[in-house]
Each structure stands twice: as C-alpha cells, then as structure tokens.
Amino acid sequence: MATDRSEKKLMIWIFLGAPGAGKGTQAERLRGDFGFVQISTGEMLREAIRAGTELGKSVQGYVTRGELVPDDLMAAVLQERLAQGNTGNGVILDGFPRTVRQAEMLEEILARHCWQLCGVVYLDTSEEVILQRLGGRRICPRCGANYHVVTMPPKVEGRCDRCGAELVVRPDDAPEAVRKRLEVYRKQTEPLVTFYSQRGLLERINASGEAEEVYQAVKAAVARRWQRCLAGG
Ligand code: AP5
C-alpha cells in the first residue's frame, strides 16, 4: 500500500458510545479546549439531507429508520472530509467507526497517510439514561445545535441560542427509530469496545453523570493519552 509520509501527522480520536450517550456534547467541549476539529458523521449526513444533495437523498431512508448507512459509502464520506484538511490539532471522529468493517477501513486510511489513532473515548451509560436523554433532545434545524429540555435547555424556550431558529425533535429520536438504533448499536457497534480494548486504545468513561462531571473525566483521559501520542507512543 502506498503511503504519504510528507503529510503532517494527523492525530485522531474516536468517540464511541450508544445513541444519546453524549458523544456530540462531549466532543464539542473537548474541541474547544484542545483545538481539535470535530467530525460528526451523523451531522454530515443530516446536513446533506437538509441540503437535498445526492448523498442526502441516498442516506435519508437509513437515517430516518435508525439503520446504519452502508460501510463503503460512509468510509468514502469520511475520506473526502479528511482530504479537505482543516484538521486543527487533531480530529475527533464522533460517530465513526460504527462497525468492525468501518474500523478496519479506518486502519487502512490511517496507515496510508501515517496518521495516528491516539485513543478511543468510550462513553458508557445505561439504557435508562439513554432513553431520558433522547426523549428530551431538541436540535436546531438551521445550525445543528443540540439541547435537552431538562438538562440543557435553551435560554429562550424552543429557540436556538445561536441562531434563533425554532428547535425541533430529531426525526430519528421517534420511539420506533430509537428502538432500532439501540438494537443496531448492540449488534453492530458494541463489538468495537472489544476491538479497541484489545488494541490498548480504549478509555472507558462513566457517562451517566452530569455533562460537566463526564467532561472532566473525558478531558483527563484525553490529556493523558495526548502526551503519549505526542511522544510517539
Ligand atoms: P449520529 O448523529 O451519530 O447519532 P447517534 O450515534 O445515534 O448519536 P446521537 O447524536 O443520538 O447521540 P450522542 O451520543 O451524540 O448524544 P448527544 O451528545 O447528542 O448518527 C445518526 C444516524 O446517522 C445513524 O443512526 C446512522 O443512520 C447514520 N450514521 C452516522 N454515522 C454513521 C456511520 N459511521 N455508519 C453508518 N451510519 C452512520 O446527547 C443526547 C442528549 O442528551 C442531548 O439532548 C444532550 O443535550 C443530552 N446530554 C448529553 N450528555 C448529557 C449529560 N451528561 N447529562 C444530561 N444530558 C446530557
């Protein structure tokens, strides 16, 4: 396989966890403190759907039903985004990989570019917490900002703090789609916990607490791993 060693070494972080575990919430905080760039594959797909692009049309059914988009398509979407640059001090992959096949494809991409996977932050929480979080989530259809009616309400009820648009329920937060997403997660994504644990890359974080408490644990784990990564370990 051809490698390109002339590129800047890119450091990659993976955020892994069930739907509603808090991947997006925590990744957003982390990127501010560490100068990382967050790549949310779910948000990329939702944007494509909103914009009515070819990609959006081809993935809309999968996303609304709570099923996974096919691996090859997702890997192509990710590669295209990484090829655009704008990767800050490193990249947080929020929502990729989601299957063992995607994890293997990511390993191939990293090897080809001599990029380094620094760690996998696994946000571990119970189904009860997940259902509470997804049940109260509201999103901004214009800018993608994320809220929760109880734990992270907007300043003005029903309106986005950033752009003022009216908040909506994410279509895949409907009860039937949530059931499907949890089933898909258990079958197809949870095996990645073992996959990355065996590679010594997993940081298991108890994600059931308040967002700030969870964030302190995430930040400490990432800071520790980052030093190791910078030292070339
Ligand atoms: P994606 O957008 O990635 O959805 P997901 O993995 O189901 O994750 P969520 O966005 O629902 O949850 P989260 O963990 O980010 O939690 P959040 O921080 O928002 O993917 C959507 C779809 O796209 C997939 O179903 C699939 O179809 C497709 N897709 C995407 N990537 C793919 C891939 N690689 N392969 C194939 N298909 C792919 O938090 C949830 C709520 O809880 C929020 O309201 C938040 O405010 C609140 N909250 C968060 N943390 C806390 C806390 N600690 N305390 C209290 N409230 C909290």
Mean per-residue pLDDT over the chain, rounded? 93
- Ligand 1 geometric centre to CA of 227 (Å): 28
Compute the average pLDDT of residues 142-160: 93
- Ligand 1 geometric centre to CA of 34 (Å): 21
Angle between helix axes 175-184 and 127-136 (nearest 10 degrees) is: 140
Specify whether the CB–CB gap between 23 and 203 falls below 8 A: no
Specify whether the CB–CB gap between 124 and 20 falls below 8 A: no
**Least confident residue range of 5-9, 14-18, 127-131, 189-193:** 5-9
Q: Is the pTM of this model over 0.85?
A: yes
At residue 6 the predicted structure's pLDDT band, cuts being 50, 70 and 90, is very low
Q: Is 162 a catalytic residue?
A: no
The atom of ligand 1 lying closest to the CA of 177 is 25
Q: Let me know if residue 109 belongs to a domain.
A: yes
Q: Let me know if residue 94 belongs to a domain.
A: yes
Q: Let me know if residue 22 belongs to a domain.
A: yes
**Closest residue by Cα to residue 69 from 40, 39, 98:** 98
Which residue minimizes the CA distance to atom 40 of ligand 1? 20
Q: Give the count of domains, the chain.
A: 1
Q: Is 29 helix (H, G, I), strand (E, B) or coil?
A: helix
- Of the residues 23, 29, 31, 225, only one is catalytic, namely 23
Compute the average pLDDT of residues 189-210: 97
Q: Let me know if residue 206 belongs to a domain.
A: yes
Q: Is 98 a catalytic residue?
A: yes
Q: Let me know if residue 152 belongs to a domain.
A: no
Give the pLDDT score at 7: 56
Domain holding 119, by residue range, is 6-36+88-127+190-230
**Closest residue by Cα to residue 109 from 22, 36, 228, 1:** 1
Compute the average pLDDT of residues 151-170: 96
Q: Let me know if residue 107 belongs to a domain.
A: yes
Measured CA to CA, the distance from residue 73 to residue 221 in angstroms comes to: 31
What digits encode the pLDDT tens for the residues 11-68?
Answer: 999 999 999 999 999 999 999 999 999 999 999 999 999 999 999 999 999 999 999 9
Q: Is 101 a catalytic residue?
A: no
Give the pLDDT score at 233: 66
What digits encode the pLDDT tens for the residues 103-116?
Answer: 999 999 999 988 99
Q: Let me know if residue 20 belongs to a domain.
A: yes
Give the position of tokens 């925590």: 26
Task: Catalogue the E-assigned strands of the chain.
Answer: 11-17, 37-40, 91-94, 116-124, 137-139, 146-148, 202-206
HSE, CB side, 13 Å, CA atoms: give it for residue 144: 16
- Indicate which CATH number applies to the domain containing 117: 3.40.50.300
Give the pLDDT score at 113: 87
**Closest residue by Cα to residue 189 from 101, 66, 63:** 101
Q: Let me know if residue 142 belongs to a domain.
A: no
Specify whether the CB–CB gap between 226 and 34 falls below 8 A: yes
Ligand 1 neighbours, Cβ below 6 Å, are: 17, 19-25, 41-42, 45, 62-63, 66-69, 74, 95-96, 98, 102, 133, 137, 146-148, 151-152, 172, 181, 210-211, 214
**179 CB-near residues (< 8 Å, 6+ apart):** 66
- Ligand 1 geometric centre to CA of 4 (Å): 33
Quickly count: other Cβ atoms within 10 Å of residue 168's Cβ.
13
What digits encode the pLDDT tens for the residues 64-118?
Answer: 999 999 999 999 999 999 989 888 999 999 999 999 999 999 999 999 988 999 9
At residue 144 the predicted structure's pLDDT band, cuts being 50, 70 and 90, is confident
Measured CA to CA, the distance from residue 43 to residue 29 in angstroms comes to: 16
